[in-house]
């Protein structure tokens, strides 16, 4: 649905209201808001190295150097979208790092559904799509010391009230919640909903419920059981997206009937 741009009041993000709305949450204890910043992930990593506590939330109205996977730029205009990063210090095995991306994706899907009724789907490994158009993405970065997490940062860019057709051409076909519903959505409301759900999933992970989360993620993910084309640096693999390995790798059954394990580092994938 197309709709004229709504002016987004700057006051739709206010830290005091987020603190009040989240009350006892882990993510209400140390909220850092910047009107303009290079990248919330970059600042979070710096803060993590300086000893900032788990749960630190870095939020920006606008990013000048927002980053995505594969060194891509994340377009981050001011006043319209959500850009935030959460600093975590998980105590579970570092092998499970991909589950952090999974739970932020699941929390985003659930929150968008609650706030706007849209059914967003997850595209392995870290994208959020609506109706074939990219609506969000997650960037997870982490550091391991002595076999344990020193920190992990999960960053989300979610297109909320942005109207892509009024902006410069993008690498992907993109959309936003407001673009699809025709209604203006409060960034604060959706942020708080994402964080509430994320916290539940994060606790569940620490209680050993990784398997259930994995199953939920598969139910919300695109293209499992379908034919896909994986483009890596120097080769292309075509096959059926079979399942996800416990470490987050995609298992594809190739034309020769062999299972190929695709690590999410440097590949792009599309359904064919």
Query: Which residues contact ligand BTN (rule: CB under 6 A)?
Result: 39-41, 63, 66-69, 72, 74, 83-85, 126-127, 137-139, 155-157
Contacts of 188 (CB under 8 A, 6+ apart): 12, 13, 14, 17, 18, 21
- Among residues 123 and 243, whose Cβ is nearest to ligand BTN? 123
Euclidean distance between CA atoms 90 and 85, whole angstroms: 15
State the nearest-atom distance from the C-beta of 85 to ligand BTN, in Å: 5
Terminal alpha carbon distance of the chain: 26
- Among residues 65 and 144, whose Cβ is nearest to ligand BTN? 65
State the nearest-atom distance from the C-beta of 172 to ligand BTN, in Å: 9
State the nearest-atom distance from the C-beta of 69 to ligand BTN, in Å: 4
- Among residues 75 and 185, whose Cβ is nearest to ligand BTN? 75
Q: At CA 221, angle to CA 217 and CA 226, rounded to 5? A: 135
Instruction: Give the side-chain half-sphere CA count within 13 A for 157.
Output: 27
**What SS3 class is residue 37?**
strand
State the nearest-atom distance from the C-beta of 268 to ligand BTN, in Å: 10
- Among residues 67 and 220, whose Cβ is nearest to ligand BTN? 67
């Amino acid at each position: 649905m197309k709709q004229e741009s709504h002016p987004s009041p700057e006051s739709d993000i206010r830290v005091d209201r987020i603190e009040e709305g989240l009350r006892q949450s882990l993510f209400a204890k140390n909220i850092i808001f910047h009107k303009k910043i290079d990248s919330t992930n970059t600042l979070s990593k710096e803060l993590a190295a300086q000893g900032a506590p788990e749960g630190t939330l870095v939020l920006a109205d606008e990013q000048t150097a927002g980053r995505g996977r594969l060194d891509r730029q994340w377009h981050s205009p001011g006043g319209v979208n959500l850009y935030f990063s959460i600093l975590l210090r998980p105590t579970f095995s570092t092998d499970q790092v991909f589950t952090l991306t999974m739970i932020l994706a699941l929390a985003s899907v659930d929150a968008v559904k609650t706030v706007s009724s849209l059914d967003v789907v997850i595209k392995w490994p870290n994208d959020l799509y609506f109706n074939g158009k990219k609506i969000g993405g997650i960037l997870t970065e982490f550091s391991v010391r002595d076999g344990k997490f020193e920190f992990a940062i999960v960053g989300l860019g979610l297109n909320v009230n942005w109207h892509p057709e009024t902006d410069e051409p993008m690498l992907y076909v993109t959309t936003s919640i407001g673009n699809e519903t025709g209604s203006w959505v409060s960034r604060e409301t959706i942020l708080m909903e994402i964080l509430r759900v994320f916290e539940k999933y994060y606790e569940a992970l620490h209680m050993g419920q990784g398997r259930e989360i994995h199953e939920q993620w598969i139910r919300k993910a695109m293209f499992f059981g379908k034919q896909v084309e994986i483009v890596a640096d120097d080769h292309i693999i075509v096959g059926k997206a079979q399942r996800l390995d416990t470490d987050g790798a995609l298992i594809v059954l190739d034309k020769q009937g062999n299972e190929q394990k695709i690590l999410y580092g440097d590949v792009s994938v599309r359904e064919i």
